């Protein structure tokens, strides 16, 4: 893993999420998928969002894009401000003008996200015509440009092909080309390298970094892979059971994790043994499971899985408090945890 300090200018945020609560009404009760989440994102910044499956990462991204089905979903409270406008207060027509144009998203599975009965060219030009107002000939030229940008060979030929004729890596590149075709200011990448082999993963991540540098696009990178976060992100947000439990610049987080859950995630990453000859150390698992989001405890949701739990942890939810410059953690014992050793 390569760690480097963030090089993001201290500019005004392009996106601000403030006390977001996204809930789902089900037969078993209210599922609090996202509960009181706040963060901001600056131009040219890559924000890594990590956590176990079911922690609220993808629902956060769908909330920003206004793609949560309502009902059963609903936005119980909060605001999502893009360039000062609260997206939760926009009409569906106003949101359609932003979605895919100023804020775009790369979905987890490119095969199910692309329409199997339309050519790559038809799918690329649709958004360009809709949002940029170009005529079909100019939209096709723009689509060919985008395939060039994402390093797809023979772009003219690929425009005439269908998704099933492309490899998994190429389909993911097409998704990135579609997401970037209107020069969005914010790009949300939800597990963009899932199910791809390691060589293609590296190419996709390198492409995203290149796009960030060229276009100053702000990126929310949702992943469970801490190696990807260490390589790509400027800042990291750790989620557990729908809440933010820690946030810090990437170097600070990896050198001084202040929440037991973050430490557990880091210890579960495979690494070489001390002999340096390729033998892997035994992975440390986090005991227990994430509590049901319909019945969250009054105190810390991580309490039943935490080695440092006390009665206070079970009775009161810990607030997010500063644990260093630009570093927040929600743990009653952050200041007394043993010194971190990777």
Of 134, 158, 181, which residue sits at a domain end? 181
Q: Is residue 297 part of a domain?
A: yes
Residue 54: predicted pLDDT: 84
Nearest to 50 by CA among 190, 199, 200, 260: 190
CA nearest 331: which of 247, 226, 224? 247
Q: Give the tokens for residue 293.
A: 């989001």
**Residue 275 included in any domain:** yes
Kindly report each contact of residues 151-154 with a partner whose C-beta sits within 8 Å and lies 24 or more positions away, as own/partner.
151/203, 151/207, 152/177
- Using CA atoms, how far residue 185 sits from 7, 43, 44, 45, in Å, is 18, 7, 9, 11
Instruction: Specify burial of residue 110 (Cβ count, 10 A radius: 0-12, 13-18, 19+).
Output: buried
- Strand spans (E) along the chain: 15-26, 29-41, 46-50, 73-82, 85-86, 103-106, 186-190, 218-222, 235-240, 243-249, 321-324, 327-329
CB 8 within 8 A of CB 69: no
Q: Which residue has tokens 């939810």?
A: 317
Report the DSSP beta bridge partners of residue 222.
49, 190
Tokens representing residue 225 in the block: 């892979």
Residue 237 falls inside a structural domain? no
Q: How many Cβ atoms are within 10 Å of 129's Cβ, its own excluded?
A: 17
Last-in-domain residue among 181, 215, 232: 181
Q: Under a CB-based contact definition with an 8 Å cutoff, are residues 49 and 234 in contact? A: no
**Pairing verdict, β 103-106 and 218-222:** unpaired
CA dihedral sign of residues 159, 106, 90, 236: negative
Tell me, yes or no, whether 209 lies in a domain. Answer: no
In a domain, 85, yes or no: no
Structural domain contains residue 303 = yes
User: Is the residue at 79 inside a domain?
Assistant: no
pLDDT at residue 2, as a whole number:
47
Which mean pLDDT values do the consecutive 10-residue runs of the chain (342 residues) have? 50 92 92 94 94 89 91 92 92 89 81 84 87 86 86 89 86 83 87 74 81 87 88 93 94 93 86 55 78 88 91 93 91 88 72
Look at residue 14 and give its three-state secondary structure. Answer: coil
The two beta strands, 235-240 and 46-50, are parallel
End position of a domain, from candidates 165, 181, 197 = 181
Domain-embedded: residue 25? no
What is each CA distance from 11 to 15, 44, 87, in whole angstroms?
Answer: 12, 10, 21
The domain total for the chain is 2
Residue range(s) defining the domain that contains residue 323:
258-336
To the nearest 5 percent, what fractions of the chain are helix, strand and coil?
35, 25, 40
């Amino acid at each position: 893993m390569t760690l480097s300090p963030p090089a993001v200018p201290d500019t005004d945020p392009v996106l601000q999420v403030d006390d977001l609560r996204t809930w789902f009404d089900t037969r078993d009760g209210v599922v609090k998928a996202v509960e009181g989440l706040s963060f901001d994102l600056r131009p040219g910044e890559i924000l890594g969002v990590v956590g176990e499956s079911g922690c609220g990462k993808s629902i956060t991204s769908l909330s920003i894009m206004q793609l949560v089905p309502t009902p059963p979903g609903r936005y119980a409270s909060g605001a999502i401000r893009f360039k000062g406008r609260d997206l939760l207060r926009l009409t569906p027509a106003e949101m359609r003008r932003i979605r895919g144009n100023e804020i775009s998203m790369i979905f987890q599975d490119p095969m199910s996200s692309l329409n199997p009965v339309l050519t790559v060219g038809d799918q690329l030009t649709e958004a360009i015509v809709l949002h940029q107002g170009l005529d079909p000939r100019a939209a096709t030229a723009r689509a060919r440009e985008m395939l060039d940008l994402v390093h797809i060979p023979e772009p003219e030929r690929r425009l005439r092909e269908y998704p099933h004729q492309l490899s998994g890596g190429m389909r993911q590149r097409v998704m990135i080309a579609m997401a970037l075709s209107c020069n969005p200011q914010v790009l949300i990448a939800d597990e963009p390298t899932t199910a791809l082999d390691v060589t293609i993963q590296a190419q996709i991540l390198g492409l995203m970094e290149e796009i960030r540098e060229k276009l100053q696009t702000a990126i929310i990178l949702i992943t469970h892979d801490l190696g990807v976060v260490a390589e790509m992100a400027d800042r990291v947000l750790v989620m557990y059971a729908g809440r933010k439990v820690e946030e810090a610049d990437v170097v600070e987080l990896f050198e001084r994790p202040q929440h037991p859950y973050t430490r557990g995630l880091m210890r579960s990453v495979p690494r070489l043994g001390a002999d340096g000859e390729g033998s892997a150390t035994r992975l440390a698992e986090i005991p227990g499971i994430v509590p049901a989001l319909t019945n969250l405890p009054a105190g810390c949701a991580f309490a039943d899985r935490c080695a440092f739990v006390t009665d206070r942890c079970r009775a009161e939810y810990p607030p997010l408090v500063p644990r260093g410059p630009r570093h927040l953690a929600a743990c009653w014992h952050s200041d007394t945890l043993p010194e971190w050793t990777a």
